[in-house]
């Protein structure tokens, strides 16, 4: 993820993307799943700490999910906003624009 160098480069950048922060994808069976809670918490805390240390730094979260599951997509947006991130949810192949469900 490169988070190890984030503190060094943060003064030179405006934003960082945390990919697959809350979700994951299994390429073998082609299914979406929630990321392990331990991994999610660790990555979230790292990025939140960087935001506090470097207030200009914006954090974008990029998570992948089946867009037909609008309730889970809404939940991912809600959680990532609560984390202080600018969320975006799309499919793993990134081949469509997916506005946030209402």
> What is the value of pTM for the model shown?
0.92
CB atoms within 10 A of CB 34: 14
* Position 70 pLDDT exceeds 80: yes
Q: In what order do the strands lie in the sheet with 86-90?
A: 15-19, 58-64, 86-90
Q: What is the pLDDT of residue 5?
A: 93
Q: What is the pLDDT of residue 98?
A: 82
């Amino acid at each position: 993820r490169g988070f190890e160098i984030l503190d060094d480069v943060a003064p030179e950048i405006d934003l960082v993307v945390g990919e697959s922060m809350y979700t994951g994808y299994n390429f073998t069976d082609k299914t979406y799943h929630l990321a392990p809670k331990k991994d999610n918490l660790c990555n979230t805390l790292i990025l939140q700490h960087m935001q506090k240390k470097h207030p200009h730094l914006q954090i974008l979260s990029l998570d992948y999910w089946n867009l037909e599951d609008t309730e889970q997509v809404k939940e991912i947006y809600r959680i990532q906003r609560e984390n202080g991130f600018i969320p975006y949810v799309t499919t793993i192949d990134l081949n469509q624009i997916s506005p946030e469900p209402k």
